[in-house]
Amino acid sequence: MHRPARLPPMLHTFAVANYRSLRDLKLKLEPLTLVTGANGSGKSNLYRALRLLQQAAAGRLAEALAAEGGIPSVQWAGPADTRSQQKRGLPIQGTRGKDVLRISFGFAADDVAYAIKLGLPAGGNPVARSRFRLDPEVKSECIWQAPPQRRANTWLEREGPLVNLRNADGEWQRLGTPLAASRSVLSELSEPQRFPEVFALRERLRSWRFYDGFRTDADSPLRQPRVSVQTGALAHDGHDLAAALQTIIEIGDADALHAAVDDAFPGSRIAILGDDARLEVGLNVDGLLRELRATELSDGTLRYLCLLAALQSPRPPELLVLNEPEQSLHPDLLRPLARQIVRAAGNGQVWVISHAPALIAAIEDQAGIVACTLMREYGETRIAGQGLLDEPLWP
């Protein structure tokens, strides 16, 4: 795929280590990255790992990891080394490493790279009385311009509570404000005049959009009239669907939206119902004398409309991530969905994680790309066909 020069900088590497099944994974990213693999291969772990980077920038890192059971529950639990044993033809044995295990996440874009390492508090006692002993502790953070990392191209260095960073004049400065051990520098530092690069990176991470299914039960907010507010970006749970679609109609590409609906549901057209205060999604269907209201639409129809609202946003994000968008969709909707995904990748970087062969094949065919296939070997998630020499440069 060709990417117009007007688009924002693109992520080209994502790296994660010691998180669940992701022992040491480095993924090369494209304008449209398609990830697939069998159940249990680690697709969801990869999705969660990327989202944790955004949650770190938003100040929700500790809460997100606590929801997963805390650091001990998400750390790599397998052998410290399997690849060297395989290389030497030895039977795989569970061995513990000498170093303290650290969970690490990071990415490199065209213009900047970021890495963070997490662990338990130093000298932590599993029988200590604190009820917060499983909170993560940020061991190190770093921001630099692009791999390879050097002192000359580094903007920020953190080791535990000590933070050194370059100010707007390019001079190194020690941050005087104490940081909470469980919080990223990105979530705490909001001084665009003094530290413009760090502030800009924080805002970029916060602008990433993640969509991982939408509630469509009878009590779902998608089926209820909602407050009418211009909405340039669909919420992650889709509760503002009607407003997001109306925003596309008013300030986005209304013709493309109506064409996409007709492509998926021939003879149908979006109808935004309600008054100026509250809006509700509806659908005009060929042959019916009235609009179908949100309460009458099928689960698959509502989910597809949410995906359209996300993919056709009039303010496309730098990175849009869809996790298993095929959920509850009829097979006939997968090719139209693939067309919308490929179209969205012309306006911003898109990452799709899917285990639907029909959707994968349709995206590969229309975008001219090959999906990245994950596999599980000795408990570790790996990229099929990727050797050490094929890995992107990191850090």
Q: How many residues does the chain have?
A: 395
If you search the block for the tokens 């010691």, which residue do you land on? 18
- H/E segment holding residue 335: helix 334-344
Residue 389 CB partners (closer than 8 Å, separation 6+)? none
Q: Is the dihedral of CA 42, 46, 51, 56 positive or negative?
A: positive
Contact 159, 140 (CB under 8 A): yes
Residue 239 CB partners (closer than 8 Å, separation 6+)? 221, 222, 226
Residue 164 CB partners (closer than 8 Å, separation 6+)? 156, 157, 158, 172, 173, 174, 175
pLDDT of amino acid 134: 75
Cis before 148? omega within 30? yes
| CA distances in angstroms from 183 to 46, 103, 108, 150, 176, listed in the order given | 21, 15, 21, 25, 16
DSSP class of residue 132 equals T
Q: Report the amino acid identity of residue 91.
A: P
Closest Cα to residue 183, out of 55, 14, 43? Answer: 55
Q: Is the dihedral of CA 192, 198, 203, 204 positive or negative?
A: positive
Residue 2 CB partners (closer than 8 Å, separation 6+)? none
Contact 16, 49 (CB under 8 A): yes
Question: Could you give the CA distance from residue 336 to residue 349 in angstroms, rounded to a whole number?
Answer: 19
DSSP class of residue 258 equals H
Q: Return the domain boundaries, the chain.
A: 210-316
pLDDT of amino acid 90: 57
Cut 0.95: pTM above it: no
pLDDT of amino acid 5: 46
* Residue 5 main-chain phi, psi, to 5 deg: -65, -20
Please give the structure tokens belonging to residue 144: 């630099």
Question: Could you give the CA distance from residue 170 to residue 268 in angstroms, rounded to a whole number?
Answer: 57
- Residues paired with 184 in a beta bridge: none
Please give the structure tokens belonging to residue 49: 């790992």
Give the side-chain half-sphere CA count within 13 A for 302: 27
pLDDT of amino acid 2: 47
10-residue mean pLDDT profile of the chain (395 residues): values are: 62 96 96 96 96 95 92 87 61 56 94 94 60 85 88 93 92 88 91 90 96 94 94 96 97 98 97 93 94 96 98 96 96 98 97 97 97 95 93 89
